[in-house]
Amino acid sequence: MKDGSPLVEFEATASFAAPAAVAAAAPAPAAPVPAGGRGPSLAGAIDDELPLSPEEIDRFATLSGKLLDRRYQVGRRLGEGGMSYVYRAQDTETGQSVAVKILLPRLSRDPAAVERLRREAEIARRLSHPNVCPILRLGEGDRMIYLVMPYLEGEPLSEHETRRGPFSVAEGVPLLLQMCHGLGHAHELQIIHRDLKPENIMLVPDGIDERRDPKYRAVVMDFGLAKERRAGPEVAKLTATGIVLGTPEFMSPEQIRGKPLDGRSDVYALGILAFEMFTGQLPFAGKSAQDTMIARLRGSPAKLRDLKPELPSKLEAVILRCLAIDPAERHQNMEELAYAFEGVAATGLIGRFFRR
């Protein structure tokens, strides 16, 4: 499978034993998310990297059956993204099934990016929570850089949305609570995600509920692996460095401007993700990713209940606060945001099931 996003393609498995449970302008019309693509085109907003040579493509796309670093027996290829090929593999030392992400050469040619990846991968190894996917190892050898992660059985939230359509409150709020708990754990370790989006959330089957509907565990993936992109002229003049880090449709205003980030940037991205979960659309419209980025700096989001009047006003208020331009006006941390989502659950029919 391929969604065009960096470092997101990866299936998962029950072999990962989760730890014990401890995540002023007028509003613009919402932007639809077309099936099979992530929002508007990036043309004009972000400079594309140089394409891989045929030799490089062949080398990274044909690793099945090989032994990587004398330890990982590489199996079938699961998918690819903008910066990686992803394989299922067997750790010959532990017997564990893992996912191996082979990073493409364009990353390894950037010393600053490699050093940032080393630093953040080391920090991400400390993650231990049922709603986050840790990095088990960052390997460098045989002229490649690769990441080893638990292999989880499930599907990305993006594919679930495409297959099933928008979520109901009863389906979506419990998943958002789990994301808040996982992200809160990461923030306690001073790890900011910076690239939160549906492609980076894995839904792992987790039994059935009282109505015999399937339940899912939401697992946040790819901490610290946001893709660095050079901004186009219109966006570059709004940033501190001319470089944007992450996926344009989900960046916070301070991330677009290249300012220092804290957990409130992830609060903003989770607000955009939640808006899309319940409506199937993005809260900021534009003909290009550049337009939507500028709208987030200067405009106001679409109203949730203009698109879905049946949704509760309290949910609209929670998401709208996530999307405040000024971080000081947002929910200040994931614990606060989780409490707000719990309030939405408690006022509806699902309150008796999800009240904590």
Please calculate the CA angle 241-247-252 and round it to the nearest 5 degrees.
Answer: 70
Distance CA 246, CA 195 (A): 5
Tokens of 253: 């205003």
Q: Which of 50, 334, 34 is CA-nearest to residue 179?
A: 334
Residue 142 designated active-site: no
Active-site hit among 195, 222, 266, 291 = 195
Distance CA 356, CA 351 (A): 9
* Catalytic (active-site) positions: 195
